Structure 1
Amino acid sequence: MSAIPTLDIRRYDTDRDAFVAELGAAYREWGFAGIRGHGIDTALIDGAYERFREFFALPSETKMQYHLKGSGGARGYTAFGVETAKDSHYPDLKEFWHIGREIPRDSRFADVMPPNLWPSEVAGFREYGYALYTALDELGTRVLRALALHIELPENFFEDKTDVGNSILRPIHYPPITAPDIPNVRAGAHEDINFITLLVGASAAGLEVKSRVGDWVPFTSDADTIVVNIGDMLQRLTNHVYPSTTHRVVNPPGELARKPRYSVPFFLHPNPDVVLDPLASCISTDNPSRYSESITSHEYLMQRLREIKLA
């Protein structure tokens, strides 16, 4: 069985045509790739993780002060056992926090992109959290440049469509699993909603990706690799040229299940008013348009959040 590729993004500047071809091929086949050489400082990643772990170790009543009822978890804290993968009977075994884009409160998107919450109990949470948000946002822009070239669009095609995107940094805590034979998994089989997801911290075992033939393929990356996968919005916009692949986080065997797992995905979203109609460059006689009705990225997001019980 072929493995999910890991590529060095520095080759975009030194060997562009080959890198774009290899990255595009990885996404067409898997919807997933590992990205190394990304330049995000290890001290920033480690410092952010340290603050996130500190927050999740707080008492439940303290964390719940940062839960915004009726917000769909758009900002702040979402408790353990709430999010449920579409069509799953059991909630995921996780709790998480959401950091969103900081925008002026007179922005035209202010009604759908609320201000962030910041836990006062954890020193440096805001500084490290938002610095990591910014770094991953910039890396996502670089990945999208390569993907645009691969489907014969201008390099900067996506930039004015994501510059005020409703993107989310989601620190996740999967607590130790102490009960035997529970039916839940840490994250049930699902596809991501957004354009692309950048995952910091897939170096702990558990992430599995479903291949085209239906096998579950473990993807445990090196510590310096960020896993980047296609989401449903980009799949729709590219008329399935880039597939949004089903993936899950399984419970580890034996004693490993009794250890917590932390991961930090960054969900890169388009601007709320972007219309997700298939691009002309992705429609052909072999791949006719799969969608007849228009929908904006915000309408699509709300539809999907209802499905996973966050709205």
Structure 2
Amino acid sequence: MAAHVPTLDIRRYDTDRDAFVADIGAAYREYGFCGISGHGISKDLIDNAYRVFKEFFALPEAVKMKYHLPGSGGARGYTGFMIETAKDSKYPDLKEFWHFGREIDRSSKYADVMPANLWPTEVPGFREYGYGLYEALDQLGVRVLRALALHIDLPEHYFDDKINFGNSILRPIHYPPITQPDVPNVRAGAHEDINFITLLVGASAAGLEILGKDGNWLPITTEGDTIVVNIGDMLQRLTNHVYPSTTHRVVNPPGDDARKPRYSVPFFLHPNPDFMIDVLSNCTSADNPSKYPTAISSHDYLLERLREIKLIK
């Protein structure tokens, strides 16, 4: 990866746990971002998921709009081009995307806030490969959170029963070619993620940048099987900023590269909707008193943020 954001092999969690936990904790305290390799998610699954996602975005606009659910905030199905707008940005992002979430029993107590998924019938394999990737990233997220728990002196499995019905989202994104010069919009405006952690599959194309503590933007690209994992605002709040949620963006590439499409697939790992985000006592001290004296449920926090980015009113 570019610059100083480290890539760590998660297999070390089983072979060299103490050192791995120290390394991953240090990476997140410093950058809020880390590359994770050795995760075991097959290239075949990732490649097939990307293939079906690209096939969907290549469909005619009228077909894609069949899967748009007005008033849903884009929680499931299709959200069209230039709809989402980064908080405090004047201009909508140059992207379109699809959302699907956890498959739960419709009699679940969470069914009212976790809608049923939509699956495009026009693209064979979309559900198979898409949800296969969802489950693989969900399981990897559990492993990352176990290491992060240990680093701040929580029990290894502290997060397990707080994310087992998490309102987590896989978001295939298409950034179409940029054909007009000097557009004020960018592919994704500077923002922080809402959730616990985000796992990004396929940051191989240039454009992703994070804002360093020195105020400079740091480009992030990956090699091989690396998945970029970053802290979201919910975990930042829970840990009283011990784990920072770092501002990042996707900039428009220069020259001919701007006329090429870009695809990425982030997995937003959320806690269960009724999880109360209340600052952990072992993340406070005389030097770092609680910044958030009031607890908030993860669902209420999500709604608050979706209004800010103009996905719901």
Q: Same fold (TM over 0.5)?
A: yes
**Are 1:282 and 2:283 matched, yes or no?**
yes
How many pairs align? 311
What is the CA distance between 1:2 and its match in structure 2? 5.7
Within 5 Å, which residues of 2 pair with 1:21-60?
21-60=22-61
What is the CA distance between 1:109 and its match in structure 2? 0.5
- Counterparts of 2:213 and 2:21 in 1: how far apart (Å)? 22
TM-score normalised according to structure 1 size: 0.99
Name 1:291's counterpart in structure 2.
292
Partner secondary structure for residue 87 of structure 1: coil
User: What letter is aligned with 1:45?
Assistant: I
- Counterparts of 1:2 and 1:252 in 2: how far apart (Å)? 18
Q: Would the aligned equivalents of 2:3 and 2:219 in 1 still touch at CA under 8 Å?
A: no
Name 2:100's counterpart in structure 1.
99
User: What letter is aligned with 1:114?
Assistant: P
What is the CA distance between 1:294 and its match in structure 2? 1.5
Partner secondary structure for residue 93 of structure 1: coil
- Counterparts of 2:264 and 2:3 in 1: how far apart (Å)? 25
What is the CA distance between 1:292 and its match in structure 2? 1.5
Deviations for 1:190-246, whole angstroms, at most 9, x for unmatched residues? 000000000001011100000111110001011310000000000000000000000
- Counterparts of 1:113 and 1:7 in 2: how far apart (Å)? 33
Name 1:130's counterpart in structure 2.
131
User: What letter is aligned with 1:241?
Assistant: V
Q: Would the aligned equivalents of 2:279 and 2:295 in 1 still touch at CA under 8 Å?
A: no
Report sequence identity in percent: 76
Name 2:9's counterpart in structure 1.
8
- Counterparts of 1:163 and 1:119 in 2: how far apart (Å)? 26
TM-score normalised according to structure 2 size: 0.99
Within 5 Å, which residues of 2 pair with 1:1-311?
3-311=4-312
Stretches of structure 2 that go unaligned for 5 or more consecutive residues are: none
Q: Would the aligned equivalents of 2:3 and 2:218 in 1 still touch at CA under 8 Å?
A: no
Q: Structure 1 stretches (4+) deviating beyond 4 angstroms?
A: none
- Counterparts of 2:199 and 2:62 in 1: how far apart (Å)? 30
Partner secondary structure for residue 19 of structure 1: helix
- Counterparts of 1:257 and 1:38 in 2: how far apart (Å)? 31
Stretches of structure 1 that go unaligned for 5 or more consecutive residues are: none
Q: Would the aligned equivalents of 2:8 and 2:37 in 1 still touch at CA under 8 Å?
A: yes
User: What letter is aligned with 1:204?
Assistant: A
Q: Would the aligned equivalents of 1:201 and 1:223 in 2 still touch at CA under 8 Å?
A: no
Q: Would the aligned equivalents of 1:98 and 1:168 in 2 still touch at CA under 8 Å?
A: yes
